[in-house]
Amino acid sequence: MSRRAPLPGASELFRLTSGNALEFPAPAEAREPEPEPEQPRRLIRGAGAKSSTPRQKHDAKITVYVSGDELLAMEHARLTLRGSHGLVVDRGRLVREAVAVLLADFDEYGEDSVLVRRLRAGGPDDPAESGAGG
């Protein structure tokens, strides 16, 4: 027998208070799903400056490891964007913009793109050089 006192569940704590106070909302399984918004991305915050786009909810996540020097350079760029250009961005936004620029360059220039040239040059982060898979 457990020594813990029984506590109310989340449905009891967070029940709707409109109408009869003794009515509990239907369990999540019994409720009909809410329709999905027709917009491809949900806006979280309104647009700021003209050079900035609204913050958006993203549906996929990746983890990227960077060196200490790369992280320091990224933070320096982020602070320079804020101090010199009035753009407040987080690291995620900075990385997404960098990826977008790199992919646009790749789409436009293909074989002569910065991406292809850097990958061909190889280096310490090249999986073929380090023996790691990617």
CA distances for 19 relative to 4, 16, 24, 37, 70, angstroms: 33, 8, 10, 28, 57
Tell whether the model's pLDDT for residue 51 goes beyond 60: no
Per-residue pLDDT averaged across 4-27, rounded?
67
**Which pLDDT score is estimated for 42?**
44
Per-residue pLDDT averaged across 71-98, rounded?
94
Per-residue pLDDT averaged across 33-41, rounded?
54
* Tokens (6 digits) for 59: 């549906």
Q: Where is pLDDT greater, at 90 or 12?
A: 90
**Which pLDDT score is estimated for 125?**
62
**Which pLDDT score is estimated for 7?**
80
Tell me the CB-side half-sphere exposure of residue 25, using CA atoms within 13 A: 15
- Whether the CB-CB separation of 44 and 54 falls below 8 Å is answered with yes
CA separation for the pair 74, 19 (Å, rounded) = 53
* Tokens (6 digits) for 29: 């399984």
Q: Tokens 């936004």 correspond to what residue?
A: 93
